[in-house]
């Protein structure tokens, strides 16, 4: 069982925001299902949470029980003092402290706790409450991703947070691996690469033994085909020998120059799978720019560095 608490707050008595409700709605919609429409997270969407007490009650519900995964997404104001600001703030009591949220996560019996914050100064999350301390104390199974560093603001543009707009792109598939898994680390890597040195810098902190996929999409290469890497390449250094019989257009029935051996159905089917591998960077032709010429000139193909990684996964039956 996986459950997600999504909170977006625009309506503050001073300094209202414009994109947090939009962000929360979009995140909730994507997390509810995987790319094929199958159920994913059981989502509780809460917009314009009005009070600190209500926020704390929602956190208590989220982190109770023993779910396989719990996910908190917050979009709203963050404070330099380390608070997720609620509209009922008074004086120094600005809302829910990041320390309190971390306490809920650390005490939770849920296996995986994922916390995603799109607010100013969110990089403070997880730091010890010691003057000038930037040390972090995360319990087992906790992953944190924040929109900005401890001293930065989080920007909005065109009715959406900059960080969340990239987070959504990642959930739609830009951060997926070849098997279609989208992990927090994959999303962070995608966002990190998308933001320049002069823009807000996201922060990623984790204490886990393995990454949980937070959304799955259709694999770029079907797993049944991906598993065949170990059949086509017995060892990492092997080259797979090609010849013109692998190219389906090398057929006397097609009016153009053909070369013996002519296309064979068995080899043509293998070649289609090899070309699929090449399209996602798992293999490359040897001494030729394109797989077509490698076949027509009886050359070969070999694993790339990425291909070697997935070759090992296939050999170890990891997918």
- Dist. CA 144–CA 93, nearest whole Å: 24
Residue 149: per-residue pLDDT: 85
Query: Are the beta carbons of 69 and 2 closer than 8 angstroms?
Result: yes
Of 216, 251, 275, the last residue of a domain is 216
- Same domain? 56 vs 193: yes
Query: What is the pLDDT, as a whole number, of residue 131?
Result: 36
How many domains does the chain contain in total? 2
Q: What's the confidence (pLDDT) of residue 41?
A: 98
96 & 170 share domain:
yes
Q: What is the DSSP string of 233-274?
A: -SSTT-EEE--GGG-TT--TTSSS---SSPP-HHHHHHHHHH
Mean of the per-residue pLDDT values for the chain?
Answer: 91
The predicted pLDDT at position 128 comes to 65
DSSP conformational letter for 228: T
Residues 210 and 67 in one domain: yes
pLDDT of the residue at 17: 93
Shared-domain flag, residues 100 and 227: no
Kindly compute the dihedral angle of the four CA atoms of residues 18, 24, 29, 33, in this order, to the nearest 10 degrees: 160
Confirm if 180 and 218 have CB atoms less than 8 A apart: yes
- 142 and 57 fall within a common domain: yes
Q: Two tokens at 60?
A: 């208590």
CB-based contact 42:79 (threshold 8 Å): no
Residue 151 and residue 122 in contact, taking contact as beta carbons nearer than 8 Å: no
Sheet of 112-118: strand order equals 42-47, 2-8, 69-75, 112-118, 142-146, 203-207
Are residues 137 and 286 located together in one domain of the fold?
no
The pLDDT, as a whole number, for residue 120 is 92
Give the end of a domain, one of 150, 185, 216. 216
Q: Where are the beta strands (DSSP E) in the chain?
A: 2-8, 42-47, 69-75, 83-90, 93-97, 112-118, 142-146, 156-157, 160-161, 181-182, 203-207, 215-216, 239-241, 283-285, 300-303
Indicate whether 209 and 232 sit together in one domain: no
Q: What is the dihedral of CA 140, 141, 145, 150, to 10 degrees?
A: -10
- Span 25-81, pLDDT tens digits: 999 999 999 999 999 999 999 999 999 999 999 999 999 999 999 999 999 999 999
Enter the pTM of the model.
0.86
Last residue of a domain, which of 199, 216, 233? 216
What residues of the chain score a pLDDT lower than 70?
Answer: 128-136, 254-256
**252 and 290 together in one domain:** yes
pLDDT value, residue 130 = 38
- How far is it, in rounded angstroms, from Cα 217 to Cα 252? 40
Q: Provide the residue range defining the domain that includes 60.
A: 2-216
């Amino acid at each position: 069982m996986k459950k997600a608490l999504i909170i977006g707050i625009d309506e503050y008595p001073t300094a209202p925001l414009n994109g947090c409700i939009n962000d929360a709605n979009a995140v909730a919609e994507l997390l509810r299902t995987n790319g094929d429409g199958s159920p994913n997270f059981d989502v509780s969407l809460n917009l314009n949470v009005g009070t600190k007490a209500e926020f704390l009650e929602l956190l208590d519900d989220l982190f109770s029980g023993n779910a396989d995964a719990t996910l908190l997404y917050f979009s709203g104001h963050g404070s330099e003092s380390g608070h997720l600001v609620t509209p009922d703030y008074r004086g120094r009591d600005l809302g829910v402290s990041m320390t309190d949220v971390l306490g809920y996560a650390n005490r939770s019996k849920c296996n995986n706790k994922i916390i995603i914050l799109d607010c100013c100064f969110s990089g403070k999350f997880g730091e010890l409450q010691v003057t000038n301390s930037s040390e972090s104390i995360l319990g087992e199974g906790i992953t944190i991703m924040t929109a900005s560093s401890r001293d930065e603001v989080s920007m909005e543009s065109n009715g959406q947070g900059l960080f969340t707009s990239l987070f959504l792109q990642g959930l739609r598939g830009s951060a997926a691996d070849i098997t279609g898994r989208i992990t927090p680390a994959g999303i962070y890597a995608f966002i990190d690469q998308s933001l320049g040195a002069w823009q807000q810098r996201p922060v990623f902190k984790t204490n886990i033994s393995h990454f949980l996929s937070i959304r799955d999409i259709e694999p770029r290469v079907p797993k049944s085909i991906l598993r065949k890497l170990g059949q086509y390449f017995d060892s990492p250094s092997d080259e797979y020998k090609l010849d013109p019989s692998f190219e389906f257009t090398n057929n006397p029935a097609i009016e153009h120059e053909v070369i013996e051996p002519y296309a064979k159905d068995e080899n043509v089917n293998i070649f289609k799978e090899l070309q699929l591998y090449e399209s996602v960077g798992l293999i490359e032709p040897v001494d030729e720019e394109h797989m077509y010429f490698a076949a027509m000139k009886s050359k070969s193909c070999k694993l790339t560095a990425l291909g070697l990684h997935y070759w090992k996964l296939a050999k170890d039956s990891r997918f």
